[in-house]
Amino acid sequence: MAASMRSARLHEAGQPLRIDTVEIPEPRPRDVLVRVKACGIIPNMNAIFSGRLWNHLPPLPASVGLDAAGVIAEVGSEVTDVAVGDRVYVNPWLSCGMCSYCRAGEPMLCSAAAFQGYFGFFPHSTRQLLDYPFGGFSEYITASPQRLVHLPPRVTFDQAARFGYLGTSYAALRLGQVRGGSWVAINGITGTL
């Protein structure tokens, strides 16, 4: 494998991304390295490019890109449940694993949550962004196996890069206990979803 990769990185909020050549990250013992084949482009990413930020950015320069899909290129020494060559979607949600919400099995409520390749929700989200510093606009990213969704052969990488949106919609329908034949009102349909 080549020792370097290309990565679209933000050097300054409100400025265009730069394509930089950087070292390919090494997966930690409990992580995997994914060769990115597709990555979602979301309208909210414009906030980073325009400099209108309301969340906490990783230290700059920062590799960006949310909702990556690709092929596992390498597995850490302690990883046993996925293999090189597996086709996967990488859930970008990063949680600390240590707060009361994470320990209670509710990582979506993590008090230090972040999106890999995007931003942190809290000032102390930086730890997660430093642990997983590359976003999907890089040729390779690292991820924990728990955040991977295996892709069946009929699902393309481009389709998988939209899974984050599907998950949000599905969770809302499930929370609302919507059944076939139900009527729903969709607030914000012209937004990012």
CATH (domain of 30): 3.90.180.10
In a domain, 6, yes or no: no
Helix H segments across 9-154?
46-50, 100-103, 126-131
In a domain, 13, yes or no: no
Helix H segments across 116-182?
126-131, 157-160, 163-175
Kindly report, residue by residue over 46-68, the tens digit of the pLDDT.
Answer: 766 676 666 787 888 999 998 99
Q: pLDDT category, 191, cuts 50, 70, 90? A: low
In a domain, 177, yes or no: no
In a domain, 184, yes or no: no
d(CA 17, CA 7): 9
In a domain, 173, yes or no: no
pLDDT at position 124: 84
pLDDT at position 34: 99
In a domain, 55, yes or no: yes
d(CA 68, CA 40): 7
In a domain, 185, yes or no: no
d(CA 168, CA 166): 5
pLDDT at position 90: 97
d(CA 23, CA 134): 11
Instruction: Read off the pLDDT of each residue in 107-111 and give the average, rounded to a whole number.
Output: 90
Kindly report, residue by residue over 17-32, the tens digit of the pLDDT.
Answer: 999 999 999 999 999 9
- With pLDDT > 90 as the criterion, what percentage of the chain qualifies? 61
The model's pTM is 0.87
Number of domains in the chain: 1
Q: Which domain holds residue 144?
A: 25-165
Kindly report, residue by residue over 78-94, the tens digit of the pLDDT.
Answer: 999 999 999 999 999 99
pLDDT higher than 60, residue 77: yes
Q: Which of 16-20, 98-102, 120-124 has the lowest mean pLDDT?
A: 120-124
Characterize the bridge pairing of strands 66-75 and 93-94.
unpaired
